[in-house]
Amino acid sequence: MTVIKEFRKVNHLLQKDLADFLGVSREFISMAESGKAPLPYNHLCKLRDNDKGWDVSMFTCGVSGGDHIEQNGGRGNIGKIAGDSGEVMSLRKENEMLRAQVEELKAQNEKYWNMIERLTGK
């Protein structure tokens, strides 16, 4: 099942409902669900950021075994659904390292500002 079809089924939507929301034809939704037409990336973003309260968990990292969506070569189409937990774990580790670096830089920044305040008396 494609992520678009899963999204539609989980949220109890008809193809027409989804088509109306995205401003496309029902036939296009059918083609996207069958893999015959790529869903533009901006449509995915519109689904993910919807204000209808729809479940979008199938679009996020770390849900259902680490599935996530990649943009297809920057061409604005949905690429693959990747369930490579090794890739997800690698990205999480990199994220943790970057967060630690940011915290370290914040601490250094505060240290330098304190030193400047002591030197200038302000």
Q: What is the radius of gyration, based on Cα positions, of the chain? A: 21
Segment among 47-51, 52-56, 74-78, 110-114 with least mean pLDDT? 74-78
| More confident position, 49 or 90 | 49
Is 0.95 surpassed by the pTM of this model? no
Contacts of 93 (CB under 8 A, 6+ apart): none
Contacts of 103 (CB under 8 A, 6+ apart): none
Provide the percentage of residues in the chain whose pLDDT is more than 90. Answer: 34
| More confident position, 66 or 47 | 47
AA letter at 49: D
Q: Which residue has the tokens 């790529």?
A: 38
Residue 15 has pLDDT above 90, yes or no: yes
Q: Looking at residue 68, what is its pLDDT?
A: 39
AA letter at 18: L
| More confident position, 55 or 62 | 55
Q: Looking at residue 61, what is its pLDDT?
A: 42
Most confident of 27-31, 39-43, 85-89, 117-121: 27-31
